[in-house]
Amino acid sequence: MGEVLNIRISRAAILAMAITMTGALIGGSAGTAAAATNATHFATAAAQYQQTSLTPVPSAEAAPSSSPLHVLNGYVTYSQEGYRIDAPASVLANVPQADLDKLNAYIDAVSDDIKSGKLVMSDEGVATTAPSEGPVGITGSVAGVAAHPKYGYIKTHWYGIEVGLDSWLTNKVEGGAWTGSGAATLASLLGGGRTAGIVAAALGIAAGAIQVCQHKDGWTILYWVGTIGPGTFVCNPFG
């Protein structure tokens, strides 16, 4: 765990969350223990937080409605150090605990990557790959695409990773191209960066399963929160 945790709740919300989770979500002695654990975690995060200039995440950066984290939209701020969640206990109670745990670990990882220089926070509230990280163009040898910098993208939002593929790249992935060792070329076509390799590997395995996520304009948009894998993405099938 990094020196600065990025899910930070007010002291009043910490107490209310402990009470809510004890009585409403879990119940019994097990619920009391779980509530105490969560209260301790968030209290520690709040105590370790170093005050910086915080900016509300713009509405354009809202979590998609298909994500269980969409109820946190409007409660997120960011700084050059990372993201911060300031949601009341009544809102946090609507997010499955497993997803809160994944979000906590993910935001910590983003903060660590910013601290180490792998990511930088943009003015729009998106953590982007630092200029020195990863390829800036295509490094593969796919015929006919060398003149184009990329056919997709990877964005690091507060709620997870967003991956976009245009219609050409979508067709190639669905057709089974760039699996195995070819994943490196797919990573380059996505723009490279810290998560490109694991995203490319997941897409190579998922292949035809991503078809349901293709939008009317031909782009395929996928979202991952927490673990990036072939069966763990969410999307809007009616985009």
- What residues does each domain of the chain span? 11-123, 134-224
The order of strands in the sheet holding 127-129 is 119-121, 127-129, 152-156, 161-165, 220-224
- Global pTM value: 0.66
pLDDT digits (tens, 9 = 90+) for 46-74: 444 445 689 999 999 999 888 889 999 99
The token pair that represents 108 in the structure block: 């910590």
Count of other CB atoms within 10 angstroms of residue 34: 18
79 to 53, 62, 85, 114, 229: CA distances (angstroms): 6, 16, 12, 11, 29
pLDDT digits (tens, 9 = 90+) for 162-206: 999 999 999 888 887 766 667 888 888 888 877 888 898 888 888
CA gap 37, 55 in Å, rounded: 29
What pLDDT shows up at residue 228?
85
